[in-house]
């Protein structure tokens, strides 16, 4: 990883935590390796993913904790915005961030406590990037999982999301069902799974099994997908408060069906991981060869 000391900063948005660091021309292989090693919650710093920051143009690139690439992340981009302002990479309350899911326009309402709105764009029922088998339209689709039939709806909201409406009295395991839907052969590239409980027309609860992470405390793009699908089903209004385990997000649907996500982000700490940590996979590889 070079001789320079790596510095990472840890941020979270509604409990969804990320490591952020300046992108100094790391290769794709290095980024995958760094994400798996540094995000490990037992032997690394611990996070749901790592975000590589470029300043010119202002760009975010995110890898999940399993080393997989993610085109965008709703909670991640709010953390990115706070990091960029903390590091004085941008000034003012309006700026644009380049992502693999296209440019996103941000508006910072308040610095302390930090609060930002992001235009997440539109959601789509069918998109080539969803990589659904036979390019099927998945809307109120009956999916057999174990001994139950689930009605699922899949949309592309910066990445693929599958929404399942649940009742507060449902007793099945979100982790177990989420993993089964995520791994289902219907989804060639797997899927995020969002379990949505409707409280009333202005309030919902969302629990997400995230592709590349597993069960997570929050997923911003998943909240957008959940609100959009619920709105189309006449279950909610255009302005919804999404309740998560460690915070809330406000999701608004504009007249032209753009989804605006508003919420906070907090800095946790700065860290300088030991070089030995980043060389971990090399050491493990040598140990494996010796055992053989």
Structure-block tokens of residue 270: 């700065």
Which is nearest to 123 in space by CA: 212, 251, 28, 22?
Answer: 251
**Can you list the alpha helix ranges (DSSP code H) found in 87-198?**
174-182
Q: What angle do CA 72, 77, 80 make, to 5 degrees?
A: 130
DSSP string spanning 2-35?
-SSPP-EEEEEETTEEEEEEE--S--HHHHHHHH
Structure-block tokens of residue 213: 């992470």
14, 39, 219, 223: the catalytic one is 219
Cβ–Cβ contacts within 10 Å for residue 178, how many? 25
Active site residue 73: yes
Q: Which residues pair with 214 in a beta bridge?
A: 210
73, 79, 223, 224: the catalytic one is 73
Contact 94, 107 (CB under 8 A): yes
Cβ–Cβ contacts within 10 Å for residue 264, how many? 20
How far is Cα 62 from Cα 70, in angstroms, rounded to an integer? 6
Active site residue 282: no
Q: Which residues are catalytic?
A: 73, 219
């Amino acid at each position: 990883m070079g001789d320079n000391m790596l510095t990472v900063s840890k941020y979270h948005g509604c409990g969804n935590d990320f490591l952020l660091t300046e992108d100094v021309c790391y290769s794709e292989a290095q980024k995958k390796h760094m994400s798996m090693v540094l995000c490990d919650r037992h032997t690394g710093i611990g996070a749901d993913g790592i975000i590589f920051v470029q300043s010119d143009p202002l760009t975010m690139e995110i890898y999940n904790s399993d080393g997989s690439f993610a085109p965008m992340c709703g909670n991640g981009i709010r953390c990115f915005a706070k990091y960029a302002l903390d590091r004085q990479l941008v000034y003012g309350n309006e700026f644009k961030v380049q992502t693999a899911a296209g440019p996103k326009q941000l508006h910072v309402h308040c610095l302390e406590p930090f609060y930002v709105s992001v235009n997440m764009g539109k959601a789509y029922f069918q998109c080539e990037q969803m990589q659904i088998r036979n390019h099927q339209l998945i809307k109120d689709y009956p999916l057999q999982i174990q001994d139950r039939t689930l009605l699922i709806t899949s949309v592309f909201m910066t990445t693929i999301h599958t929404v399942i409406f649940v009742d507060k009295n449902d007793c099945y395991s979100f982790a177990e069902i989420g993993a089964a839907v995520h791994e289902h052969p219907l989804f060639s590239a797997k899927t995020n799974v969002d379990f949505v409980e409707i409280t009333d027309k202005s309030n919902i609860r969302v629990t997400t099994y995230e592709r590349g992470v597993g069960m997570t405390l929050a997923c911003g793009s998943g909240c957008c997908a959940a609100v959009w699908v619920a709105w189309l089903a006449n279950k909610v209004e255009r302005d919804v408060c999404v309740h998560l385990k460690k915070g809330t997000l406000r999701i608004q649907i504009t007249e032209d069906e753009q989804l605006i996500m508003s919420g906070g982000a907090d800095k946790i700490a700065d860290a300088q991981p030991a070089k030995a940590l980043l060389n971990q996979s090399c050491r493990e590889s040598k140990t494996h060869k010796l055992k053989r």
